């Protein structure tokens, strides 16, 4: 049985029940998702109120750390036999103010799928870029660990890594254009190479799933735009094909839902300023 996932960075989200929270909930509910993760939750109390009022039948989990932004995870039990959620502090590295990850293991018909939700270090400085590289090494190592378990009689190694992975590139030693050593596209290419090599005994690596649109983040009037949000899937998992991209007619598996669907810049600015500067990623996982 397939299940649907929504992964969305809702910028500086306070939760609660105000008009912005209503708009966020309405945007999410149209996808009828089984697993929902919201990044940049800035109020634990507001997160619980948001979950109780708009998703009352869902299991709710909020990460906890010294940072000001957390992950809010909602799971609809109607299509899920069992769910286990654990906080992963190791993705904060040596910086207690980095956001922890959350590992959500979904079970359907005794098939287990592991979803690792992450909001990695932001910035193009050397320290932020280095943190992202080390985070990538750690989350790809998880794929190898799952493969080792499968080789020793454990369940199939099914891992999906998704979230705001902040593939921004590197400007070093100063954040100026002349010191831009890696572009955002080049960082993503490096992530793809690391993903392909994340295997044991040539068993299976991982692949960055194709998205409907490359750009998932933009501020008002398109002054800054980038593809920060990604879904990375172990080769043993298949996502539902969602159609062909408008840009190049290539097939895609991850929908990009938000201001990208709006026709005018004025409408996009309203969404960006009033709801979020990120689009939601929506995908369906096949058994």
Strand partners, 5: 35, 283
Q: What is the model's pLDDT at position 117?
A: 97
Q: What is the model's pLDDT at position 98?
A: 78
pLDDT tens-digit readout, 157-198: 999 999 999 999 999 998 888 899 999 999 999 999 999 999
Q: What is the model's pLDDT at position 179?
A: 92
User: Hey, where are the domains in the chain?
Assistant: 3-285
Q: What is the model's pLDDT at position 88?
A: 76
Fold assignment, 3-285: Deoxyribonuclease I; Chain A (3.60.10)
Q: What is the model's pLDDT at position 204?
A: 86
Q: What is the model's pLDDT at position 201?
A: 85
| Tally of CA atoms within 13 A in the half-sphere of 68 that contains its CB | 4
Q: Convert the chain into a string of H (helix), E (strand) and C (coil).
A: CCEEEEEEEEEEECCCCCHHHHHHHHHHHCCCCCEEEEEEECCHHHHHHHHHHHCCCCEEEECCCCCCCEEEEEECHHHCCEEEEEEEHHHHCCCCCCCCEEEEEEEECCEEEEEEEEECCCCCCHHHHHHHHHHHHHHHHHHHHHHHHHHCCCCCCCEEEEEECCCCCEECCCCCHHHEEECHHHHHHHHHHHHHCCCCCCCCCEEECCECCCCCEECHHHCCEECCEEEEEECCCCECCCEECCCCCCEECEEEECHHHCCCHHHHHHHHHHCCCECEEEEEECC
Q: What is the model's pLDDT at position 174?
A: 87
Q: What is the model's pLDDT at position 123?
A: 93
pTM over 0.85: yes
Q: What is the model's pLDDT at position 166?
A: 97
Tell me which residues of the chain have a pLDDT lower than 70: 89-94
């Amino acid at each position: 049985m397939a299940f649907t996932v929504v992964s969305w960075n809702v910028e500086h989200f306070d939760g609660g029940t105000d008009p912005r929270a209503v708009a966020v909930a309405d945007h999410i509910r149209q996808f009828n998702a089984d697993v929902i993760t919201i990044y940049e939750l800035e109020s634990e109390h507001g997160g619980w109120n948001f979950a109780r009022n708009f998703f009352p039948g869902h299991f709710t989990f909020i990460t906890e750390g010294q940072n000001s932004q957390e992950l809010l995870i909602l799971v609809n039990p109607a299509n899920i036999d069992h769910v286990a959620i654990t906080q992963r502090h190791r993705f904060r590295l040596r910086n207690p103010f980095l956001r922890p990850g959350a590992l959500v293991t979904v079970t359907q018909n005794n098939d287990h799928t592991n979803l690792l939700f992450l909001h990695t270090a932001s910035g193009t400085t050397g320290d932020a870029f280095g943190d992202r590289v080390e985070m990538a090494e750690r989350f790809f190592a998880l794929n190898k660990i799952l493969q080792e378990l499968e080789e020793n009689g454990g369940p199939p190694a099914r891992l999906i890594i998704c979230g705001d992975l902040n593939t921004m590139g590197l400007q070093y030693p100063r954040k100026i254009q002349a010191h831009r050593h890696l572009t955002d596209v080049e960082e993503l290419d490096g992530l793809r190479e690391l993903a392909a090599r994340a295997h044991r005994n040539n068993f299976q690596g991982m692949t960055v799933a194709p998205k409907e649109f490359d750009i998932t983040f933009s501020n008002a009037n398109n002054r800054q735009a980038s593809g920060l949000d990604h879904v990375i899937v172990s080769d043993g998992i298949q996502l539902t094909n969602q159609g062909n991209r408008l840009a190049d007619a290539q097939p895609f598996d991850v929908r990009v839902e938000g201001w990208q669907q709006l026709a005018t810049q004025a409408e996009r600015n309203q969404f960006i300023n009033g709801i979020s500067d990120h689009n939601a990623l929506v995908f369906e996982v096949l058994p």
